[in-house]
Amino acid sequence: MTWEMVTNPLGNIALSALVDALPIFFLFFALAIMRMKGHWAGLITALIAIGIAIMVHQMPAGLALGAAAYGALFGLWPIGWIVITAVFLYNLTVKTGQFEIIKDSIASITDDRRLQALLIAFSFGAFLEGAAGFGTPVAISAAMLVGLGFNPLYAAGICLIANTAPVAFGGVGIPIITAGAVTGIEAMQISKMVGRQLPFLTVMVPFWLVFIMAGWRKTIEVLPAILVSGVSFALGQWFSANYLSPMLPDIIASLLSIISLVLFLRVWKPRSVWRFKDEPPATLQVKRHSPGVIFKAWSPFIILTVLIGDWGLNNVKALLDKYTLKFPMAIDQLIIAGGKPVAVVFKFNWLQATGTSILLAAVITALILRISPAMFCRTFWETLKSLRFALLTIASVLAFAYVANWSGITPTLGQAFTVTGALFPFMSAFLGWLGVLITGSDTSANALFGNMQKVTAESMGINPVLAVATNSSGGVAGKMISPQSIAVGCASTGLVGKEGDLFRFTIAHSILFTTFIGMLSMLQAYVFPGIIPEAIAQAKAAAATAAQGATTVLLITGIIVAVLAAVAARQSEQRA
């Protein structure tokens, strides 16, 4: 028996929205005030949403539970699968000692603290965000900077601020993939729009980092290096987000930024080497390695990038998709939304899923690094154990999102949010910022607010792609002040107990960056609307020819090989 979605169930949009917002209010209260564990907060939030769907929106219990089950399944596959395999590949490099060599290859390029901030906090941190995410960038890059002699507060602060650049595409594009899943908008279209917003911010982040550290005069002294770092990153981010895949911008942009700066430093040097006044002694012992050893250490991520590029080719996707298993859920076609039945079919694309390409990269890595089957399996099991609560959090947040979308909760909130009027594009950025501030995750913020942004935008005649993308772009600035990020930054730099100092260090920058994204969104909505992709991907826009795909893979491979060659050449020059 079918059931039609109910919006504004209480007959008063303000009262209906207030009731429907209770799960979100609880989630914020649980995480920010009660400091509840993320998985418990997510589970209770999903249960509250199910209760409201049944009692307020009159959604049959079976449909509400079915929607929650479908959302949880989607959270585990394909999103959770990507998380597991990406972190697993990273853990393999750590277990085998290859990641230490990668760190050495970056840390040994220069002694100037300003340039080290660009290479480690900005570019290398973005690489870690793209390859692993989940707090890894700040934890590792901040610890590296402290080990090199940075003031701990500045090390943590600039790493948190630098981490705004890659967050939207972090963890192999999981935030964008999630936004596409909960809104029904093609993920590549959201990727394109985010790729037409964030580069305007990321091109300025390197300048901002150095200015915070060294002041105006010392920043101008290294302005050429800042421009090389920021412009190369922004161009790589824009190109890969618009023409490759939402899974590759962080990796491509960060490596392009590293190689560009390394090559530039071969022909240019600052007038003086800058260090902090009264900085602590360095504790990180940077080792020198041969080009071959460096290349081997980076090889897992070379393989990762090439395989993800291959998996994105249309002919490859079509071939692998033939093996997808489809399971219609019990609630399939039983929910009527917008006058049409909702198809609820779980697709187990075990071969075509991006996570499978990452697992294949891990297998090839094991062969190259001669990892034993026992270590391979043990590391995979340890990865699963370490991520069990993160996976539960993802599943519960996605369960909430699908219940909200199909019960009428999200459309009701969207109608209420239209009171912002013409300022809606600006407020979209701060809604995403608030979501990440509380949850600590751009993925969770997109799951919570993505569809609400879409519904509100459609009701106001604004392209929904802009609103959904702005939710993600605005969210990146909330990452630096989220309690989870602050805790990671303090723990990795020896500042435990001084979380308030670090929060005060970053809060103004967070608001400033979000305001910038909000103003940019306003310009794109009303002055330059032609920059926004269509909400529904056209065949010619979504597809690329096999020749274009092959060119893409060659380009990716060339960039990565070039960065390795540049780093190796730089080290050879230093030894000479």
φ, ψ for residue 345, nearest 5 deg: -125, 120
Give Cβ neighbours of residue 385 (< 8 Å, ≥ 6 apart): none
pLDDT attached to residue 509: 93
- The amino acid sitting at 185 is I
Pair of tokens at residue 375: 């270590």
CB 88 within 8 A of CB 431: no
Using CA atoms, how far residue 185 sits from 178, 182, 466, 469, in Å, is 10, 8, 11, 11
φ, ψ for residue 337, nearest 5 deg: -130, 125
Give Cβ neighbours of residue 393 (< 8 Å, ≥ 6 apart): 38, 39, 42, 444
CA dist., res. 554 & res. 549, Å (int) = 9
Q: Map residue 475 onto helix, strand or coil.
A: helix
pLDDT attached to residue 136: 67
CB 354 within 8 A of CB 308: yes
pTM for this structure?
0.75
- The amino acid sitting at 533 is P
Pairing of strands 335-337, 3-4: parallel
Estimate to the nearest angstrom the gap between the alpha carbon of 72 and the chain centroid.
Answer: 20
What are the 10-residue block averages of pLDDT along the chain, 576 residues in total?
Answer: 90 92 86 80 92 95 95 86 84 89 82 89 87 71 80 89 89 87 90 95 94 92 95 95 88 91 91 81 75 88 80 78 91 87 90 87 93 96 88 86 87 82 90 80 83 88 93 92 77 76 88 93 91 59 39 46 49 47
pLDDT attached to residue 329: 93
H runs (alpha helix) in 22-135 = 22-28, 38-55, 61-74, 81-95, 98-107, 113-116, 125-131
pLDDT attached to residue 418: 78
